[in-house]
Amino acid sequence: MRQRFSIAGERAPQREKETLTFEFFDAGHVLGSSGILLRAEGKTVFYTGDVNFDDQTIMGAATFPEEKIDVLIMECTRGDHPKPAGWTRASEERRLAEAIGAAFERRSCVLIPVFALGKTQEILAMFYKFRRERLLTEFPIYIGGLSSKMTDIYDRRAHTTRRQLPRLQLMREATPFILNEETVRDAPLRPGRVYVLSSGMMIPKTLSNVLAQRLIENPQHSIFFVGYANPESPAGLLRDARSNGEVTLDPDKPVQRVRCNIEQFQFSAHATREALIDYAKRLAPGKIVLVHGDPPAVEWMRLTLSADLPRSEVLVPTPGVELEL
């Protein structure tokens, strides 16, 4: 799916070299995510934005231009994480289903921190598939108010966007219950329930952070991470904490000891570093600008691209400093 627009100067004749055109390409990251191709003065600039070159449970893989590009601006989120050997989305979905089933056998409730836009809907679609494929029986699912609003948008756009499972209505088929700031503090922690709550980074005072504080010291319960988390965020600190280690999820609350079960699953909505490198090599642009990644991720991408594309100038801009392209 792509759309093209153009802008010409009011006093300038409508000549191609004086016309700025911009096209939007489906980036496969979340609903509405786009790569943007700019043409002006005989030059082309393509900005990937957040991108995924693989199919997800709902979102289809990006459909990006393959033409000659002068400047490529590219995200680097997963630049410091190689794709696990033998990883497939289908096998990872089965692993998640098995982990949830095992947690239920331990009479555990499960928290999955997610982003309200994108990850919530992907997880709900997985749960629909688990039920349909009889990998799991029916179980209560809880989401937050903002997630429910985003999910409603996904449902309303199901037939007008390029996606997997176009007939799936998540709110109707997954039938999640809605929690808010008050009910998440008081909801009984009964076994056999899954809480798919934002924020994905578990920012203090958000639903996932509040519920995690109730689970973290109880070895009966589980917290599953399903995507990227900044290492310095509460989610990153908890994910990387050792069993019986200590962590502070909220600076206004006391330190807590980690006794719950923690597992990591690979369902990132960002492209693998291998796919990003492959795309850059196919375009072989004159300049590549690396953005949106932790310093180790950006540096790995810079070194790899500099070696693989010696004729391309690889740039890492300084935040807040204007860059002449």
**Model pLDDT for residues 185-217, shown as the tens digit of each residue:** 988 899 999 999 999 999 999 999 999 999 999
Residue 12 pLDDT? 46
Residue 2 pLDDT? 64
How far is it, in rounded angstroms, from Cα 281 to Cα 277? 6
pLDDT of residue 14 exceeding 80: no
Query: Residue ranges per domain, the chain?
Result: 2-82+270-315, 89-264
Q: Is 284 left (phi over 0), alpha (psi -120 to 50) or beta?
A: left
High-pLDDT (> 90) share of the chain, %:
83
Return the number of other C-beta atoms located less than 10 Å from residue 229's C-beta: 21
Give the mean model confidence (pLDDT) for residues 176-185: 92
Residue 229 pLDDT? 85
Residue 118 pLDDT? 95
pLDDT tens-place string over residues 251-305? 999 999 999 999 999 999 999 999 999 999 999 999 999 999 999 999 999 999 9
Min mean pLDDT across 193-197, 231-235, 311-315 is at 231-235
Residue 11 pLDDT? 46
pLDDT of residue 6 exceeding 80: no
Contact (CB, 8 A) for 125 and 57? yes
Give the mean model confidence (pLDDT) for residues 26-52: 95
Q: What are the DSSP calls for 165-193, one per residue?
A: STT--HHHHT--EEE-TTHHHHS---SS-
* Architecture label for domain 89-264: 3-Layer(aba) Sandwich (3.40)
* Tokens found for residue 288: 């590549």
Return the number of other C-beta atoms located less than 10 Å from residue 174's C-beta: 20
Residue 16 pLDDT? 57
pLDDT tens-place string over residues 112-167? 999 999 999 999 999 999 999 999 999 999 999 999 999 999 999 998 889 999 99
Is 114 strand, coil or helix? coil
Residue 228 pLDDT? 82
Could you tell me where the beta strands, DSSP code E, fall in 106-186?
A: 110-113, 141-144, 177-179
Contact (CB, 8 A) for 203 and 213? no
Residue 321 pLDDT? 93
Residue 286 pLDDT? 96
Give the mean model confidence (pLDDT) for residues 210-230: 94
pLDDT of residue 182 exceeding 80: yes
* Tokens found for residue 9: 């100067």
Residue 187 pLDDT? 84
How far is it, in rounded angstroms, from Cα 96 to Cα 136? 11
Residues 6+ apart with CB under 8 A from 112: 123, 194, 195, 196, 197, 223, 224, 225, 226
Give the mean model confidence (pLDDT) for residues 25-36: 96
Residues 6+ apart with CB under 8 A from 24: 2, 3, 34, 35, 36
- According to DSSP, residue 131 is labeled H
Does this model's pTM top 0.75? My answer is yes
* Architecture label for domain 2-82+270-315: 4-Layer Sandwich (3.60)
What's the mean per-residue pLDDT of the chain? 92
60 or 4, which is more confident?
60
How far is it, in rounded angstroms, from Cα 15 to Cα 185? 62
Q: Chain-centre distance of CA 310, in angstroms?
A: 31
- What phi and psi values does residue 3 have, to the nearest 5 degrees? -135, 145
b/e map 261-294, b = 16+ CB within 10 Å: bbbeebbbbbbbbebbbebbeebebbbbbbbbbb
Residue 181 pLDDT? 86
Q: Residue 3 forms beta bridges with which residues?
A: 24
Give the mean model confidence (pLDDT) for residues 24-36: 96
Is 103 strand, coil or helix? helix
pLDDT of residue 4 exceeding 70: no
Residue 243 pLDDT? 83
Question: How long is the chain?
Answer: 325
**Of 96, 92, 93, residue with least CA distance to 83:** 92
Q: What are the DSSP calls for 231-278, one per residue?
A: TTSHHHHHHHPPTT-EE-S-TTS--EE--SEEEE----SSPPHHHHHH
